[in-house]
A = this chain, B = another copy of it.
């Protein structure tokens, strides 16, 4: 290894600097410094390529991708409910409000038990890293100790993460067995988690706190206002749910006479570092408000098919420059990988474009022009996620953190199969996004540190 701790990775890379375009660089040479940031990303005809490659080889610090291996940026999952991990793939049969009360709040209440929290959260962080999710934005529960454990585990395993202690204090909508005792207590615990995460030994920004009012129905005005103050004082990130379903959207309208977006804005919760999950029922005015704030939407298409009653107006949002990334919404969405979410985003956009009811005339069946491409979904899963979080992640370019994965198309017993005589670079990209599983994700780095290395050939 070189004295300065730098290293290089050479091979074909896929990333998306611009919305709608996949950049394919064959035999690219990515150079990473000791802090885990990319300092150079050279193509073979760039000046210095041969010299840099030779130096890295000499120093024994060059990884050369094997045949059939490709380098991608790590995925950014903007919306994960960590405590719901044990019910992923189940409990999808009832509407949102009932889902919360019947399945989800009882499960989340169990995280009073720190041993249970450690088991579940350890499993989740491991599974997400194995799927190439290098940045994860987590809702934890109302429990401060369990929330600390999640932050600890992310730092230990080396996953970039934003960890939020959930705030929910409304006696009208939250059950007695799972509710903050008061707005003040929720605000104090939120501050305590922020201090804890920022003070974690060895944490130089890999794990960050995020202020987390659950959503409008579960928070009193006092809580929303108090959390807005915390955000104003600390500059912390914010996450919440926004206009997810007819019920949730209608609840906010009735209570405040305005949309969720406007409510969050009024309480100081809509900032450049805010992630609004879902937002399926936002209006065009809401879009303008979100754009003006520089806030972002976490689009969760699979979850939305079960709980949202409509498809997020993705095309319009992207066209207005609204920041949009993707979220699995574990466990509202029964899948673990953002790779799957990418393809679900495309499918949802196609179904929105064409409509669903065959008895309606095609001219009125759907919302014309709604579709997004797989390349656009890939941008959202990587570059767009970084933009949403205001963090230098998602691209294999100088100045970005080296958060990356190798997808291996030659793993045994895999559905990801190439036909070299037929497949173009673009085909390799599309097949990888449609057919890879965690078994194909053979190496993963976060901030230059290797957090997964398996072999399947």
**For chain A residues 218-272, which have a beta carbon within 8 Å of chain B?**
246
What is the oligomeric copy number? 2
Please tell me if A15 contacts chain B, counting CB pairs below 8 Å. Answer: no
Q: Contacts A305-B351, A352-B357, A358-B313; is A438 near B415 (CB within 8 Å)?
A: yes
Query: A86 contacts B352, CB within 8 Å?
Result: no
Kindly identify which residue among B351, B417, B423, B437 contacts A123, using a CB–CB cutoff of 8 Å.
B417
Q: Contacts A334-B434, A355-B356; is A439 near B415 (CB within 8 Å)?
A: no
* A352: B residues at CB distance < 8 A: 356-357
Please tell me if A198 contacts chain B, counting CB pairs below 8 Å. Answer: no
> Interface with B: A19-27, A40-48, A158-166, A362-370, which one?
A362-370
Please tell me if A347 contacts chain B, counting CB pairs below 8 Å. Answer: yes
Please tell me if A449 contacts chain B, counting CB pairs below 8 Å. Answer: no
Bound Cα distance from A417 to B92, whole angstroms: 17
* A435: B residues at CB distance < 8 A: 88-89, 334-336
Please tell me if A306 contacts chain B, counting CB pairs below 8 Å. Answer: yes
* A348: B residues at CB distance < 8 A: 351, 356
Query: B310 contacts A356, CB within 8 Å?
Result: yes
Query: A419 contacts B86, CB within 8 Å?
Result: yes
Query: B351 contacts A311, CB within 8 Å?
Result: yes
Query: A366 contacts B358, CB within 8 Å?
Result: no
Considering the complex, give the chain B residue whose CB is closest to the CB of A435. B89
Bound Cα distance from A426 to B89, whole angstroms: 11
Chain A contact residues (Cβ within 8 angstroms of B): what range?
35 or more
Query: B362 contacts A246, CB within 8 Å?
Result: yes
**For chain A residues 411-450, which have a beta carbon within 8 Å of chain B?**
413-415, 417, 419, 422-423, 426-427, 430-431, 433-435, 437-439
Please tell me if A302 contacts chain B, counting CB pairs below 8 Å. Answer: yes
Please tell me if A69 contacts chain B, counting CB pairs below 8 Å. Answer: no
Please tell me if A454 contacts chain B, counting CB pairs below 8 Å. Answer: yes
Q: Contacts A86-B422, A417-B123; is A311 near B358 (CB within 8 Å)?
A: yes
**For chain A residues 293-328, which have a beta carbon within 8 Å of chain B?**
302, 305-306, 308-313
Query: B427 contacts A90, CB within 8 Å?
Result: yes
Considering the complex, give the chain B residue whose CB is closest to the CB of A419. B86
Query: B431 contacts A89, CB within 8 Å?
Result: yes
Considering the complex, give the chain B residue whose CB is closest to the CB of A306. B350
Please tell me if A142 contacts chain B, counting CB pairs below 8 Å. Answer: no
Please tell me if A39 contacts chain B, counting CB pairs below 8 Å. Answer: no
Query: B354 contacts A309, CB within 8 Å?
Result: yes
What's the least CB distance linking A435 to chain B, in Å?
Answer: 5
Contact with B along A152-191 (1 / 0, CB 8 A): 0000000000000000000000000000000000000000
Q: Contacts A357-B352, A373-B93; is A87 near B422 (CB within 8 Å)?
A: yes
Query: B357 contacts A310, CB within 8 Å?
Result: yes
Bound Cα distance from A419 to B127, whole angstroms: 14
Please tell me if A382 contacts chain B, counting CB pairs below 8 Å. Answer: no
* A337: B residues at CB distance < 8 A: 415
Please tell me if A212 contacts chain B, counting CB pairs below 8 Å. Answer: no
What's the least CB distance linking A126 to chain B, in Å?
Answer: 10
What's the least CB distance linking A97 to chain B, in Å?
Answer: 14
What's the least CB distance linking A394 to chain B, in Å?
Answer: 23
Bound Cα distance from A308 to B362, whole angstroms: 11
Considering the complex, give the chain B residue whose CB is closest to the CB of A347. B305
* A308: B residues at CB distance < 8 A: 354
Please tell me if A343 contacts chain B, counting CB pairs below 8 Å. Answer: yes
Bound Cα distance from A415 to B362, whole angstroms: 39
Bound Cα distance from A430 to B93, whole angstroms: 11
What's the least CB distance linking A454 to chain B, in Å?
Answer: 7
Please tell me if A280 contacts chain B, counting CB pairs below 8 Å. Answer: yes
Closest 6 CB pairs of A and B: A89-B434, A310-B358, A89-B431, A86-B419, A352-B356, A334-B434
Chosen A-B contacts, 24 in total, with CB atoms closer than 8 Å, are A86-B419, A86-B422, A87-B427, A88-B431, A89-B434, A89-B435, A90-B427, A123-B417, A127-B417, A305-B350, A309-B358, A310-B354, A310-B355, A310-B356, A310-B357, A311-B351, A311-B358, A313-B358, A337-B415, A348-B356, A352-B356, A357-B367, A414-B438, A437-B439
Given A348-B356, A356-B367: 18 more A-B contacts, CB < 8 Å: A86-B419, A86-B423, A88-B434, A89-B431, A123-B417, A281-B358, A305-B347, A306-B350, A309-B365, A310-B358, A312-B358, A313-B358, A334-B434, A348-B351, A355-B356, A357-B367, A413-B438, A413-B454
